[in-house]
């Protein structure tokens, strides 16, 4: 059954079909609430293989059927194209507005005016669309809020999720935060009761999930002792071979782009560094000359400062080198790469290898027969608060493109199965990992359990600003820690209830320094994505 509501911009009745949400028990009720003009708030964990753009189009259609407007923000142009096509199918042509930096100033301003004047506007776009004017705003939604593209790199550094949730709170609008993974911030919304989780039952999850196996657990190591150090253990290799023999595509996710993004001395294993700026040296191709990734200088005559050796070996392997190696391992099989130089949208069904960096994985017709997740250490060992969360997000996004296990879909992650992010992947339980992550951050005093501001700049300037700031009671000042280019960073931590007081204190102190025309600038950021 479908529900029919009032006309939206462009005329014509809007039909709401709840069938796509029936795999999630609270889903149909969420759509009904939108159609009735209420303001439900949901944190949605999408199933593997889910057409997330179609589900968002359902939610937007329900909102428009209730006579209100909607605003949806996605991370990049590829996601925007998917959502654009889904909304055209759900609402009809010319009934929504796309806002993207790729449009150019003139077209973007025309789209802005169209959104401003529409009677029941629907606006979709990338990060900058979070500020788009929407009359009678009834729904704000964001897909994959853990993607760092949602964070504005320019002052005042707003995050699309926080702006949209603030608009929902102030305007009494509904909110939808969705993704294959779940951030600690989204989990906090659930645990505080601000939003309700929309998830499938475990039987449905098991039916839709591919068969997932790690290479680093004890049974696998007993069969293949070399799996602990091999970049492509036998389990991953045989999975790829069997899938290609079955005439199905294989996706290989590699965290690093390029050929050899990091090299070391072949004799003593000392990392190769630029003699000018100490940046890491990289090889752009098999016959290329090592060059610095920071300053770009070529180091044709490089000699190891420890042993004098001139031969180099790979310490980190990039996507292009991986494609080259797998092409030799499986001769006659088409090999495609998807990354910064060229991002593929779709690939055909049939035997083929697709080597992609995270976020550039194309959709395969009928789904991938196998997904290989390589170099997990590059994601898990980063000195970052969100390393585990980000690794799981990237893995789930890639694994969601595989066929269900009942249809032969398999996922192999080259990692120890005892690690918490790997356990969450094996069980396809992003909510469990998010709750665990939030509990750990609450115990250690990290965002989002607390509010934290970073103050970055020359040491004297940072000390000057903090000395003049009237910080709220209970504020803790942590640091300093080294930042880039000779600067240092101090962190100020307060309970969430005192976040506004912290922001006001730092804003006032920064204004006082500006009035004195202080020479050295200081960068202020609340809850930055990276603390270290």
Using one digit for the tens of pLDDT, what is the confidence trace for 156-188?
A: 899 999 999 999 999 999 999 999 999 999 999
Inform me whether the pLDDT recorded for 229 exceeds 60. Answer: no
Question: 431-456, pLDDT tens digit by residue?
Answer: 999 999 999 999 999 999 999 999 99
Q: Where does the chain hold its CATH 3.30.70 domain(s)?
A: 451-526
Question: 456-495, pLDDT tens digit by residue?
Answer: 999 999 999 999 999 999 899 998 888 877 789 999 999 9
Tokens of 154: 């320019």
Domain 210-258+318-427 has CATH 3.40.50: yes
Inform me whether the pLDDT recorded for 227 exceeds 80. Answer: no
What is d(CA 174, CA 172) in angstroms, rounded to the nearest whole number?
7
Helical segments of 349-445, H only: 376-380, 387-399, 420-427, 430-444
Do 98 and 111 form a contact (C-beta atoms < 8 A)?
yes
Inform me whether the pLDDT recorded for 411 exceeds 90. Answer: yes
What is d(CA 188, CA 436) in angstroms, rounded to the nearest whole number?
11
Question: 18-77, pLDDT tens digit by residue?
Answer: 899 999 999 999 999 999 999 999 999 999 999 999 999 999 999 999 999 999 999 999
What CATH number belongs to 3-204?
3.40.50.300
Find, among 395, 76, 418, the residue nearest to 252 by Cα: 395
- Record the pTM: 0.87
Q: What number of CA atoms fall less than 13 Å from residue 354's CA on the CB side?
A: 34
Mean of the pLDDT values across residues 498-503? 94
Residues of the chain above pLDDT 90, percent: 63
**Residue 120, pLDDT score:** 62
Inform me whether the pLDDT recorded for 295 exceeds 70. Answer: yes
Q: What number of CA atoms fall less than 13 Å from residue 106's CA on the CB side?
A: 0
What is d(CA 230, CA 224) in angstroms, rounded to the nearest whole number?
10
Element (H, E) at 84: helix 77-91
What is d(CA 316, CA 257) in angstroms, rounded to the nearest whole number?
10
**Residue 71, pLDDT score:** 97
Inform me whether the pLDDT recorded for 416 exceeds 80. Answer: yes
Do 104 and 74 form a contact (C-beta atoms < 8 A)?
no
Question: 342-397, pLDDT tens digit by residue?
Answer: 889 999 999 999 999 999 999 999 999 999 999 888 888 877 889 999 999 999 99
Mean of the pLDDT values across residues 396-410? 96
Find, among 392, 403, 394, the residue nearest to 365 by Cα: 403
Inform me whether the pLDDT recorded for 192 exceeds 90. Answer: yes
Q: What is the rounded average pLDDT for all residues in the chain? A: 89
Do 197 and 25 form a contact (C-beta atoms < 8 A)?
no
Q: Which CATH number fits domain 451-526: 3.40.50, 2.60.120, 1.10.3470, 3.30.70?
A: 3.30.70
Q: What CA–CA distances, in Å, run from 490 to 30, 502, 509?
A: 43, 14, 15
Q: Where does the chain hold its CATH 3.40.50.300 domain(s)?
A: 3-204
**Residue 225, pLDDT score:** 55
Q: Highest mean pLDDT range out of 89-93, 110-114, 163-167? A: 163-167
- SS3 category, 530: coil
């Amino acid at each position: 059954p479908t529900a029919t509501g009032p006309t939206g911009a462009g005329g014509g009745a809007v039909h709401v079909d709840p069938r796509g949400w029936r795999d999630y028990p609270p889903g149909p009720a969420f759509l009904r609430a939108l159609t009735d003009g209420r303001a439900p708030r949901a944190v949605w964990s999408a199933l593997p293989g889910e057409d997330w753009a179609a589900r968002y189009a359902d939610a937007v259609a329900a909102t428009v059927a209730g006579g209100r407007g909607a605003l949806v923000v996605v991370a990049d142009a590829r996601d925007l194209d998917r959502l654009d096509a889904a909304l055209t199918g759900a609402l009809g042509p010319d009934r929504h507005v796309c806002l993207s930096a790729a449009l150019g100033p003139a077209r973007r301003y025309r789209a802005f005016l169209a959104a401003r004047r529409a009677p029941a506007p629907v606006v979709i776009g990338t990060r900058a669309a979070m500020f788009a004017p929407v009359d009678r705003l009834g729904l704000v939604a964001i897909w994959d809020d853990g993607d760092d593209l949602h964070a504005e790199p320019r002052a005042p550094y707003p995050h699309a999720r926080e702006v949209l949730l603030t608009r929902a709170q102030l305007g009494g609008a509904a909110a939808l935060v969705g993704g294959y993974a779940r951030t600690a911030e989204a989990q906090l919304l659930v645990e505080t009761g601000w939003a309700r989780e929309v998830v499938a039952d475990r039987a449905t999850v098991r039916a839709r999930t591919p068969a997932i196996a790690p290479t680093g657990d004890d049974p696998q190591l007993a069969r293949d002792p070399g799996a602990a150090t091999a970049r492509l253990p036998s389990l991953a290799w045989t999975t790829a071979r069997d899938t290609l023999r079955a005439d199905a595509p294989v996706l290989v996710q590699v965290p690093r782009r390029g050929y050899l993004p990091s090299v070391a001395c072949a004799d003593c294993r000392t990392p190769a560094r630029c003699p000018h700026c100490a940046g890491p040296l990289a090889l752009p191709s098999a016959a290329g000359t090592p060059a610095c990734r920071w300053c770009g200088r070529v180091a044709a005559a490089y000699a190891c400062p420890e042993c004098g050796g001139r031969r180099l070996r790979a310490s980190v392997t990039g996507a292009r080198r991986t494609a080259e190696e797998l092409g030799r391992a499986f001769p006659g099989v088409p090999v495609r790469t998807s990354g910064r130089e060229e991002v593929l949208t779709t690939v055909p069904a049939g035997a083929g290898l697709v080597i992609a960096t995270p976020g550039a994985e194309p959709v395969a017709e009928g789904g991938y027969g196998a997904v290989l997740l390589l170099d997990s250490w590059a994601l898990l060992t980063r000195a970052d608060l969100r390393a585990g969360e980000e690794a799981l997000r990237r893995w789930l996004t890639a694994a969601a493109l595989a066929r269900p296990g009942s249809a032969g879909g398999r996922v192999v992650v080259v990692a120890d199965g005892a690690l918490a992010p790997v356990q969450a992947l094996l069980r396809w339980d992003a909510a469990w990992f998010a709750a665990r992550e939030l509990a750990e951050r609450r115990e250690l005093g990290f965002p989002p359990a607390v509010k934290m501001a970073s103050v970055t700049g020359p040491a004297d300037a940072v000390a000057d600003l903090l000395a003049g700031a009237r910080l709220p009671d209970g504020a803790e000042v942590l640091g300093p820690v080294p930042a880039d280019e000779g600067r240092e960073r101090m962190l100020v931590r307060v309970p969430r209830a005192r976040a506004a007081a912290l922001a006001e204190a730092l804003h006032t102190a920064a204004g006082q320094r500006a009035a004195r025309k202080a020479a050295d600038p200081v960068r202020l950021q609340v809850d930055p994505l990276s603390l270290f």
